[in-house]
Amino acid sequence: MIRHLLKVCGIKGKVLVYLALLSFLGGLAAEPALAQAPAGPQVLLEKPVEGAPPQEKKEEAPTTCGPICCDTCVPIETGHVSLSVLWALSFYPGSFSQNWRTVTAGGNFHTFYMPVKVTYGPTKNMEVYLIAPFINNWASDVNVPGPNGETSASYAGIGDLTLMGKYNLLPEGDVMPAVSAVAGFASIPTGHASHLNPALLGQDAIGTGALTFTTGVNLYKWLKPFLVYSNIWINSPVNIYQNSPNNVVSREYITFNLAAEYPLSSKFVALLEFYSNWTWSNIYTPQGYQTPETLLGILPGLEFLATEKLSLEAGASLDLAGKNGVKKYTPMLMASYSF
C-alpha cells in the first residue's frame, strides 16, 4: 500500500509521506516512556521523607501531692506560693529504753500537733519555707505525781520555728535522680524548753531549746510507676539554755527519710514513707515534745487531688523502734493549697 502511494504522489508527496511515517513512529516510541513517568505532584506524595524522624514527646511523671513527712526535692515554681496545714494527734503507748526495748510510758500522754507551712519560690530552681507549729501536750493518770500530788497536766503554745532553703543542683535525667541541696534551721528556739514547771509533769516542754543548723541533700526519681523521694540531713543543734535547770537538751543527729508514691488513678495516690533520726550519744529529757532521739518508723497514707490547686492527704505515722525516747502513733490529715 505504501509503494502504491509513492507511485501516485510526486516527489513532494513522497517527502510528505516519509515525514508522516517518521512522526507516527516517533510518537509510538516516546509514548511508553512517558507513560512510565508519574506526574510531578504524585512523585512528591509517594517519595519517603528524608532526614531524622521527629522526636517523641518525653513522658512526664503524674502529678501527686508529695510526701507528708519526707521533704520534696524539686522546688516550687518561681513566684508561686503554697500553704500547707497538718493536723496530727499523737498517742504514747510506751517509751524506748537504752537497749531499744519498749517500756511503759508511765501514764496517758497525748500531743496535738498543728504545723502551718508556707513555701515560696523566689527564683528559678530555689524555694524557701517557714513552718510554725502549734503544740498542745496533756497527760493523765501519771505514775509519778508532781510536787503537790499532780497526776494530770496540760500545756499549749507555739513550738520551734523551722526556716529552710532548697536549691535544685541537678535535674532528673534518664538514669540520675534529681538532686537538691538543703540548708537552714530545723529549729529556731521559739518554743518553751527551759525552766520547766515540775507541776506540769513535763508537758510544758514544747520546744527543743536549740538553734539547730541543718544541711543535706534531697533526691527524687520517677521509677515508673513509682515516684521515689529521699532525704539525708545532718542536724547540729546549739543548746541555748544548756545551763538552765531542768531544761531540754538536744544532741546532733542525722535524718534519713525515704518515701514512695504509687498513683492509683488521676485523683488518688498511695503513699508509704520510712522516717528515721539517728543520734550517737545518749539523751535524757522530760516527757513531752522534743528533738527525736534515735527513732525509726513508717507512715502509710493516701493522697487525694481535689483540684489543680487543692490536695488532701491522710495517714498515720507508726514508731517501730527507737532508743532513749518516746514511742508514739500519730494519725494525721494534711491540706495543701497552691496560689
Q: State yes or no: pLDDT of 292 exceeds 70.
A: no
Work out the average pLDDT over 127-142. Answer: 96
pLDDT at 208 over 60: yes
108-122, 156-170, 189-203, 294-308: segment of lowest average pLDDT = 189-203
pLDDT band at residue 61, thresholds of 50, 70 and 90? confident
16-25, 182-191, 192-201, 306-315: least confident range: 16-25
Exposed / middle / buried, residue 152 (Cβ in 10 Å: 0-12, 13-18, 19+): middle
Q: Please provide the average confidence, as pLDDT, over all residues in the chain.
A: 84
Average pLDDT over residues 197-205: 91
pLDDT band at 312 (very low <50, low <70, confident <90, very high): very high
**Mean pLDDT throughout 310-319?**
97
Q: Answer whether residue 232 shows pLDDT above 80.
A: yes
**Contact criterion met (CB below 8 Å) for 272 and 69:** no
Percent residues over pLDDT 70 in the chain? 77
| pLDDT at residue 236 tops 50 | yes
pLDDT tier at 195, thresholds 50, 70, 90: confident
Q: What pLDDT shows up at residue 74?
A: 94
| pLDDT, tens only, 156-189 | 999 999 999 999 999 999 899 999 999 999 999 9
Q: In terms of Cα–Cα distance, which of 232, 233, 231, 227 is closest to 172?
A: 227
Mean pLDDT value across residues 55-84? 88
pLDDT of residue 176: 93
Where residue 244 falls among pLDDT bands split at 50, 70, 90? low
Question: Does the pTM of the predicted model rise above 0.95?
Answer: no
Most confident option among 54-58, 179-183, 238-242, 293-297: 179-183
pLDDT higher for 35 or 92? Answer: 92
Share of the chain above pLDDT 90, in %: 63
pLDDT of 239 over the 50 cut: yes
